[in-house]
Structure 1
Amino acid sequence: MSPYGMRSAAVLLALGAVAYTAWVLEVVLATGLDPVRTYVSELAAADQPLGGLFRATDLAAGLLVLAGAVTALVVLRPHRPWSAVGWAGLVLFGAGTATDSRLPLSCAPTVDPACAARETAGLVPATHAAHAWSSSLATTGAIVGVVALTVAARRYGRWPALARVGPALVTAELAATVWTLTAVALFEAGNGTLLLGTGQRLQVLLVAGWLAVLALSVAREKLYE
């Protein structure tokens, strides 16, 4: 194992975690979107004044996590199943997030009734459908990575920090994901949002926090297979 390679992976993952929380800038920037009700991705919509900023941070987050996960795979060449699946999940998450940033929504459907109507009628650009697919892939990759690498930390006796904190983060992340998916289904059925924005922001924040713990664990323990 190359200590330099693992330190590089840890730095890339840590930077990716920071970039993935760039949406918190909405606290100090006038985005015009209600964080309780809106999708995080609506911050990066093509018609939003700060859309370019949030698309850039999403791209950076995806590429950094992708590079960190690929570096870990190359350095570790993991043969244990939970480790291999977990790193592969982070590769998918990074690639999906980066792709997401290149397929922005054209407008913000949760706050713009005309946008929502066009989306329902299929009159929005194809990027809306593509964005939904890339977001789903990114979310799937994140869940796989979070679960599998947390199991690996506990089962293989590595990454003590992740082994301690990981299970609580996994439980909270799964709960936030169920909340978000339920809220999305309700919104698409015209039955309100069930605090969609809050649920999704919690979901994203938990992934970023988990990435930070993983990065710290890798840097400290210099994991090897």
Structure 2
Amino acid sequence: MSLSRSDGAAGAARAIAALLALGALAYSAWVLEAVLGTGLDPVRTYVSELAAVDQPFGDFFRASDLTAGLLVLAAAVTALWGTRRATEGPRRLVLAGWGALALFGAATAVDSRLPLSCAPTDDPACAAREAAGLVPATHTAHAASSTLAVAAALAAMLLLTLAARRHRAWAPLARTGPVLVALELAATVWTLAAVAAFEAGRGTWALGAGQRLQVLLVAVWLAVLAVSVVRERP
């Protein structure tokens, strides 16, 4: 049984896989901070601070996030369209998973259009303005869209990995998906704890490292899903 193509359309599967792979690549653009000299400490700072309005490479990182979101959204919508007639059995799980992935893509694209105005974990003046409510409303909106993106990514990872294992399909995802989901959950807990510590004035608790691990695991999972979809046989 093929979970990725109800009509056996190999061409559609290749298109979905290509979109997912390119989306994973764009979603990993933050690794270029190692060579761009952003001036932000990757152990302490949010990944999204790379795209802040006052950062030297903000335009690039905002564009890469927008690209990643649109590519993943396109992949998920294409997959949903291919399984639109599914009404029962494993297809319900797959539809829910692709739907969550579409939401992740859309939220990521929106997130890129709601950048921070400054980097609060790196700039004490920015942190003080944020605490006093003197920053643009995009800070609050960005937090909301980022939270939605993370929740949708976790849901998609869990649902599609569960579908792969339950129905013995998408072999690469069935093998590695559970480990990636467990690591993603751990990285998310780390990030949330670090955010709470920072907001309480207790330091960053390596917030940047935790969030970068979180984002990296999503990209790896997207790549594994891409390989799984293109290798599946009807």
Same fold (TM over 0.5): yes
The question of 1:20 aligning with 2:27 is answered yes
- Cα RMSD between the aligned structures? 0.9
- C-alpha separation between the residues in 2 aligned to 1:114 and 1:82? 47
Letter paired with 2:230: A
Partner residue of 2:58?
Answer: 51
C-alpha offsets along residues 111-130 of structure 1, whole Å, 9 cap, x if unaligned? Answer: 10110011011100000000
Q: How much has 1:76 moved relative to structure 2?
A: 2.3
C-alpha offsets along residues 121-171 of structure 1, whole Å, 9 cap, x if unaligned? Answer: 110000000001110111111000001000000011110110000010010
Letter paired with 2:228: S
List aligned pairs for 1:66-81, cutoff 5 A: 66-77=73-84, 78-79=86-87, 80-81=91-92
The question of 1:221 aligning with 2:228 is answered no
- C-alpha separation between the residues in 2 aligned to 1:99 and 1:10? 23
Partner residue of 2:12?
Answer: 5
User: Structure 1, unaligned stretches of length 5 or more?
Assistant: none
Identity of matched residues, %:
69
- C-alpha separation between the residues in 2 aligned to 1:174 and 1:206? 10
The question of 1:210 aligning with 2:217 is answered no
- The match for 1:145 among 156, 169, 178 is 156
- C-alpha separation between the residues in 2 aligned to 1:113 and 1:100? 23
- C-alpha separation between the residues in 1 aligned to 2:162 and 2:50? 33
**Secondary structure in 1 aligned to 2:36?**
coil
Contact preservation (8 Å) 2:69, 2:107: yes
Partner residue of 2:111?
Answer: 100
Letter paired with 1:101: S
- C-alpha separation between the residues in 1 aligned to 2:212 and 2:120? 17
C-alpha offsets along residues 76-106 of structure 1, whole Å, 9 cap, x if unaligned? Answer: 2244232111111101100000000000000
- C-alpha separation between the residues in 2 aligned to 1:84 and 1:113? 45
- The match for 1:175 among 186, 189, 199 is 186
Letter paired with 1:55: R
The question of 1:158 aligning with 2:158 is answered no
- C-alpha separation between the residues in 1 aligned to 2:60 and 2:162? 35
Letter paired with 1:118: R
Partner residue of 2:4?
Answer: none
C-alpha offsets along residues 28-59 of structure 1, whole Å, 9 cap, x if unaligned? Answer: 11100000000000000000000000000000
How does the TM-score come out when normalised to structure 2?
0.94
- The match for 2:126 among 108, 115, 127 is 115
User: Structure 2, unaligned stretches of length 5 or more?
Assistant: 1-6
The question of 1:135 aligning with 2:146 is answered yes
The question of 1:192 aligning with 2:203 is answered yes
